[in-house]
Amino acid sequence: MRLLFVEDDPQIAGAVARNLERSGFAVDHAGTLADAKACVEAQQYDVMVLDLGLPDGDGLDLVRELRHRRNPLPVLVLTARDAVSDRVAGLEAGADDYLVKPFAHEELVARLRALLRRPRDDLGDAVAVANLRYSPAAGTFTVDAGQPLLLPRREHMLLAALLRRPGRVVTRNSLEDAIWDFAQEIESNALESHISRLRRRLARAGAKVEIRSIRGVGYLLQPVSS
């Protein structure tokens, strides 16, 4: 899950971002409202955690702007303001949830997971290729409608990205974007290694799909040709 974390206090930002990464999120950090806007324009996120008091403005302006453009990105507001009127203002601006500082990391993660489980228009319906099915709302893969197929985080994100565009080529760049943060160095063969591990896991699970390499372009997921 790709998360945008908007927070101007470097100490809070560092600590919270590390915890979120440990909890399985790919985190991009923005320290200003302007940075946050640039990130949202450049990248598709699954969820945003937003501090309200930012050096160049009020975080709620960003929420209003997103909703005005019909962008449904789930937003959890993080704020020191605990007055009832402030919470109401946050929700009215279009935030989905809020947490008052200081907060426990476990509570932040629990609320984010709850937000991500919430069905939203942009998540779309479940997609299936052969006997492999992905439910965006639950975030789970199943083979033959059996038990959820549990994958390591990056392979999970990779497979979700491929399954969203079944039978079409997904470029290397967009796959790399889906699984790595801006800040991370990507080794040149890292994507290939993840793809080959994913192929082995899919085969072991009995999924009748194959991930084809399209040389120099990317990958595509399709039913195993018989």
Residues forming contacts to Ca ion in the complex (CB under 5 A) are 8, 51, 53
30 versus 159: smaller Cβ distance to Ca ion: 30
Closest distance to Ca ion from the beta carbon of 21 (Å): 21
12 versus 137: smaller Cβ distance to Ca ion: 12
8 versus 61: smaller Cβ distance to Ca ion: 8
Closest distance to Ca ion from the beta carbon of 51 (Å): 5
Closest distance to Ca ion from the beta carbon of 9 (Å): 6
By CB atoms closer than 10 A (0-12, 13-18, 19+), residue 197 is middle
Q: What angle do CA 177, 164, 138 make, to 5 degrees?
A: 95
| CB-nearest residue to Ca ion | 53
Q: At what angle do helices 84-93 and 59-68 cross, to 10 degrees?
A: 30
Closest distance to Ca ion from the beta carbon of 200 (Å): 45
32 versus 222: smaller Cβ distance to Ca ion: 32
Closest distance to Ca ion from the beta carbon of 152 (Å): 34
Q: Indicate the DSSP class of residue 108.
A: H
8 versus 35: smaller Cβ distance to Ca ion: 8
Give the three-state DSSP class for 117. helix
Among the listed residues 163, 76, 174, the one whose alpha carbon sits nearest the alpha carbon of residue 125: 163
Residue pair 209/129 in contact (Cβ under 8 Å)? The answer is yes
Closest distance to Ca ion from the beta carbon of 34 (Å): 14
Query: Which residues 6+ apart lie within 8 Å of 132 measured at CB?
Result: 141, 142, 143, 149, 163, 202, 207, 208, 209
Sign of CA dihedral 195, 197, 199, 201: negative
